[in-house]
């Protein structure tokens, strides 16, 4: 059949016609890296003809590492009662936000474990204190598993949790905790976290309340190509429904101090194929991010020719991936600007909402 032809799918993609899940799977399994890269790059050029590549200056504050989820891929978590467990004080977090402001940052990303000792009031007080002292900072914090866990802990709905956090000053949600949005994968990988449907409900509800969020995918472990396509289909469908996602951010599993250290990490080629497929499939997403954190800056730069138009963040700190054996290199602003230029693009600083703050001519 013509619809099973790579040439036909290529034609559809270049004409900006939506490809189906079956066609995406055929691309994933049958197309070579150069074809995927070509299609993704053409689509990126159509969406971003000005060749601007953005990045954000943010700080990733992990307010606690105590977590009851028990995800097999995580090296950061500590069990309740562990001597290595911690909860940052409000004063310490405010000090970190001050450093972010002093550094010219715009975005505060706070994520932590599912900590049974932290009630919803802890989060409300923390956010309102941050907003009171730093009203200019965009609070882009708390993943769907944290929201679902708070809902269970407090005995209230997901909507009620989000309403209270929004009233306290929460601006938007990161897409963390998605891993791969296939229940078959999640049941093995992170059985203590929210379900696929609950992850979708959190983001759908946040969008209905007027908040934006990002969609993410952490892959390169036990998933198969059809799981990747299922994930992309789920976020594309939700974006059709709400339009609330600002970007899609895929990155790969890194081993070291995890329960999955027996798994061989995925290749750069596989990462670039998934990145390109994301740009081809997610026709209702304007922004796709290339991961310099898990892939190195050099591969991150290559990703800009495989559909990505954003290089993520210049972070003051990163703790989760750094808990594995992988050495995370955090670039300075001048390093990020230089890398984007070297890849042939115009660098620009953005905010949480992908609004341009500064273009580096």
- Euclidean distance between the first and final Cα of the chain, in Å? 49
Asked whether residue 223 is marked as a ligand-binding residue, the answer is no
Asked whether residue 67 is marked as a ligand-binding residue, the answer is yes
Asked whether residue 194 is marked as a ligand-binding residue, the answer is no
Asked whether residue 172 is marked as a ligand-binding residue, the answer is no
Binding-site annotation: residue ranges for [4Fe-4S] cluster: 67, 71, 74
Binding-site annotation: residue ranges for S-adenosyl-L-methionine: 73, 179
Binding-site annotation: residue ranges: 67, 71, 73-74, 143, 179, 291, 313
Binding-site annotation: residue ranges for (3R)-3-methyl-D-ornithine: 143, 291, 313
């Amino acid at each position: 059949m013509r619809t099973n032809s790579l040439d036909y799918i290529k034609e559809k993609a270049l004409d900006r016609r939506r490809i189906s899940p079956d066609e995406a799977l055929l691309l994933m399994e049958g197309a070579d890296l150069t074809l995927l890269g070509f299609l993704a790059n053409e689509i990126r050029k159509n969406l971003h003809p000005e060749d601007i590549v953005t990045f954000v200056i943010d700080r990733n504050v992990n307010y606690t590492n105590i977590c009851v989820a028990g995800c097999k891929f995580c090296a950061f978590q500590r069990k309740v009662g562990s001597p290595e467990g911690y909860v940052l004080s409000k004063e310490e977090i405010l000090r970190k936000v001050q450093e972010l402001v002093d550094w010219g940052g715009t975005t505060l990303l706070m994520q932590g474990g599912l900590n049974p000792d932290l009630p919803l009031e802890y989060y409300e007080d923390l956010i309102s204190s941050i907003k009171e002292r730093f009203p200019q900072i965009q609070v882009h914090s708390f993943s769907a598993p944290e929201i679902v866990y708070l809902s269970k802990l407090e005995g209230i709905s997901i909507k009620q949790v989000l309403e209270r956090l929004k009233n306290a000053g929460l601006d938007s949600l990161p897409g963390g905790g998605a891993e791969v949005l296939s229940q078959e994968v999640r049941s093995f990988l992170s059985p203590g976290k929210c379900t696929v449907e609950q992850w979708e409900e959190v983001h759908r509800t946040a969008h209905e309340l007027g908040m934006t969020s990002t969609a993410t995918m952490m892959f390169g472990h036990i998933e198969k190509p059809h799981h990747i396509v299922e994930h992309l289909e789920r976020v594309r469908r939700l974006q059709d429904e709400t339009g609330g996602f600002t970007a899609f951010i895929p990155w790969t599993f890194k081993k070291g101090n995890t329960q999955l250290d027996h798994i061989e990490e995925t290749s750069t080629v596989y990462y670039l194929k998934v990145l390109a497929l994301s740009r081809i499939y997610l026709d209702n997403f304007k922004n796709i991010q290339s991961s310099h954190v898990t892939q190195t800056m050099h591969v991150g730069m290559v990703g800009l020719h495989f559909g990505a138009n954003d290089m993520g963040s210049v972070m003051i700190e990163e703790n989760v991936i750094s808990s594995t054996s992988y050495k995370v290199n955090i670039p300075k602003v001048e390093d990020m600007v230089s890398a984007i230029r070297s890849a042939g693009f115009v660098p620009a600083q953005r905010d949480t909402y992908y609004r341009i703050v500064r273009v580096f001519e």
